[in-house]
A and B are shown apart, each in its own frame.
Chain A
Amino acid sequence: DVKVTQSSRYLVKRTGEKVFLECVQDMDHENMFWYRQDPGLGLRLIYFSYDVKMKEKGDIPEGYSVSREKKERFSLILESASTNQTSMYLCASSTGTGSNEQFFGPGTRLTVL
């Protein structure tokens, strides 16, 4: 069964802390994505990666960075967390062929105090 896992379901951090959100997929997918989800705004793409060590900015990259050192792992980094980064963060992966359906992880609800 296909699987995307995220390191935490719930996370509470303080303003200014460096935050790491980890995502791992076991499907050998080329593409991986990080979204944030806020009420009324749907899912907004932060960053994505179409290959190891490759990354592209999404629609809202400010305040975030990413790392993809291995094909199965895609990390989202908040260099200095702020309260406006309190949100649900969703990781997804997809192949580079076919419909490109994205498979999602369970999400991490991050609260920055």
Chain B
Amino acid sequence: AQKITQTQPGMFVQEKEAVTLDCTYDTSDPSYGLFWYKQPSSGEMIFLIYQGSYDQQNATEGRYSLNFQKARKSANLVISASQLGDSAMYFCAMRETSFFFSGGYNKLIFGAGTRLAVHP
């Protein structure tokens, strides 16, 4: 069965420093996608970054980058130059695809999350 593991329940980082949030996954499908979402205290889920399993380069979006190591089945999120507003829960997720006779559908499997606190 497909699975996402985030082993860090909580992380602390100093403002302006970089931080890495760990994510490992398990799947036997050759085609999959990996996502990172941010959830501030307000509760909304904010999409940050996406990496497809066939993408040759690591995804980047502004201060976010995804360190994709396919052989190790890891998809760590790197936040450069942390800001106080980065304090939030961060979830790693993997797309799971299912097929039926007339098509298919996708759903996401989420990890337990990592709570990041940025200190001034």
Q: Using a CB–CB distance below 8 Å, which chain A residues touch chain B?
A: 31, 33, 35, 40-45, 48, 50, 56, 58, 88, 90, 92, 94, 96, 99-107, 109
Within 8 A of A (CB), among B57-114: 91, 93, 95, 103, 105-113
In contact, B113 and A88 (Cβ under 8 angstroms): no
Q: Using a CB–CB distance below 8 Å, which chain B residues touch chain A?
A: 4, 6, 9, 33, 35, 37, 42-45, 47, 50, 52, 91, 93, 95, 103, 105-113
Which of B35, B42, B111, B112 is the one whose CB lies under 8 Å from A101? B35
In contact, B105 and A99 (Cβ under 8 angstroms): no
B53 CB to closest chain A CB (Å) equals 11
What residue of chain B has the Cβ atom nearest to residue A59's Cβ? B109
Contact residues of A: prevailing secondary structure: strand
In contact, B110 and A100 (Cβ under 8 angstroms): no
If A88-B43, A100-B95, A101-B47 are given as contacts, then 8 extra A-B residue pairs at C-beta distance below 8 Å, sorted by A number, are A31-B106, A43-B108, A50-B105, A58-B107, A96-B105, A102-B35, A107-B44, A109-B43
B82 CB to closest chain A CB (Å) equals 23
The 7 closest A-B pairs by CB, nearest first: A104-B45, A50-B105, A43-B110, A100-B106, A42-B110, A42-B112, A107-B43
In contact, A106 and B9 (Cβ under 8 angstroms): no
With contacts A40-B112, A41-B112, A43-B110 taken as known, whether A103 is within 8 angstroms of B105 at the C-beta atoms is no
Indicate the member of A42, A104, A106 with the most B CB atoms within 10 Å: A42
With contacts A31-B106, A104-B44 taken as known, whether A42 is within 8 angstroms of B52 at the C-beta atoms is no
In contact, B50 and A99 (Cβ under 8 angstroms): yes
What residue of chain A has the Cβ atom nearest to residue B43's Cβ? A107
What residue of chain B has the Cβ atom nearest to residue A105's Cβ? B44
Which of B6, B95, B107 is the one whose CB lies under 8 Å from A33? B107
What residue of chain A has the Cβ atom nearest to residue B34's Cβ? A99
Q: Which residues of A contact B44 (CB under 8 A)?
A: 104-107
In contact, A56 and B45 (Cβ under 8 angstroms): no
A94 to B93 alpha-carbon distance, docked (Å): 14
A43 to B35 alpha-carbon distance, docked (Å): 13
